[in-house]
Amino acid sequence: MLPTTKGRKITSRHFLFFMLLIFHTNLSPRTSLSLVYNPPRCDISSIKTSLYRTIFFLNLLKMSETDSNGASKHCTSTPSRRAPTLGKATLLAIGKAFPSQLIPQECLVEGYIRDTKCDDASIKEKLERLCKTTTVKTRYTVMSKEILDKYPELATEGTPTIRQRLEIANPAVVEMALKASMACINEWGGLVEDITHIVYVSSSEVRLPGGDLYLASQLGLRNDVGRVMLYFLGCYGGVTGLRVAKDIAENNPGSRVLLTTSETTILGFRPPSKARPYDLVGAALFGDGAAAVIIGANPVMGKESPFMELNYSVQQFLPGTQNVIDGRLSEEGINFKLGRDLPQKIEDNIEEFCNKLMSKAGLTDFNELFWAVHPGGPAILNRLESKLKLNEEKLECSRRALMDYGNVSSNTIVYVLEYMRDELKRGGGEWGLALAFGPGITFEGILLRSL
């Protein structure tokens, strides 16, 4: 039985306002109880300032409801181990999608050499070595025999093919993004019309309007959905998308943000050349696919299943390193150059960057965290692991994503987070980091909290 005053029972609604007054004012319990039954007139601005607090306590009440037998009602979703921080963005669902072509790594060399009509034995030998050192086992790709039959010029050196590449890439990227988004919305369990914003990330298409509009239309989103398009960020684009979605969710009460990333290697596919050694690295390492995440603050417990909190984010670039990762569009597609000193640059700066993120939660021990690191390649993971003296299992989710999908640019961090979600269900720490590195050299990081 809840407390009463003057013979009147306090309902759950009365109790809610009583708790608001107790927790957020200096009023005594007696005065607070009096205000519950005799509230003063208040303007709309006063009500708005209590919105976040009211939502929080409503969620607490929903979790404590009982059925007719007095037993506690259980949510249909998996109960969170920890309560979300009021006003902080949370991850609510994940989806992913891939093209139909699955390539085992052991089959890649013969197929690539055949499709590009390469007869240089030294190039074949080098590609075989690279395929072993990348640790990749399987990848998905948009490229197929049917596409090469239709566009044989894609495998011809020196042929202007940017128009043909975009004819393939633009629709393929949106198709994968659509499938990943639908899978994500289905897991979330909400309505399409409840999505208020979309953040669209890709380094694989070029057109106006962008893929964000095509995706919004094909999903049936509201025509007033807020759209943000992030183009050509490369491997750190997924974490940037999370940061932007976090800012939107936390500054627009009640918003639900769909983050979608989608990538294909069509723009960079070309015959091997000794003048472009990085092309072989790309052929051995990169894959295609899409990913999606629903992000929102103050999740509705019982209807939504938050599993991770985006607590704090940082982006920074390393001055004077803009030429270490270089990508440029040309008539033949996109040309990449990668400096050999990239792993060393990351190793030299990673500890300070991580400490900046960890300081927000008073953390100092790297091995107390869980780690979701974009697997740009095994060398970067190895350098990071060594520099921070991480236990071997700490980067397992990143290594597994690299093995199963290759480096899928901006998508890959979402694949890592999905594996990490499964790991944390079996137990683990409260705090973690999501990290990615890309052109700039840009470091992108988020302090995560497992729920």
Return the structure tokens found at 429: 């720490």
Residue 168: count of CB within 10 angstroms of its CB: 21
Give the whole-angstrom CA distance, residue 354 versus residue 235.
18
Tell me if 205 sits within 8 A of 220, measured CB to CB.
Answer: no
- Residue 364: phi, psi to the nearest 5? -135, -20
Residues 131, 184, 235, 397: which is the catalytic one? 235
Q: How far apart are CA 76 and CA 303, in angstroms?
A: 8
d(CA 301, CA 131): 46
Give residue for tokens 């960057």: 353
Nearest to 371 by CA among 413, 309, 311, 316: 413
The alpha carbon of 179 is separated from its chain's Cα centroid by a whole number of angstroms, namely: 16
235 is catalytic: yes
Q: Could you write out the DSSP letters of every residue in 250-302? A: HHSTT--EEEEEEE-SGGG-----TT-THHHHHHHHB--EEEEEEEEES--BT
Question: Cα-Cα-Cα-Cα dihedral of 155, 156, 162, 163, to 10°?
Answer: -90
CB 142 within 8 A of CB 169: yes
Dist CA 376 CA 173 (whole Å): 21
The answer to whether the beta carbons of residues 153 and 159 sit under 8 Å apart is yes
- Which of the residues are catalytic? 235
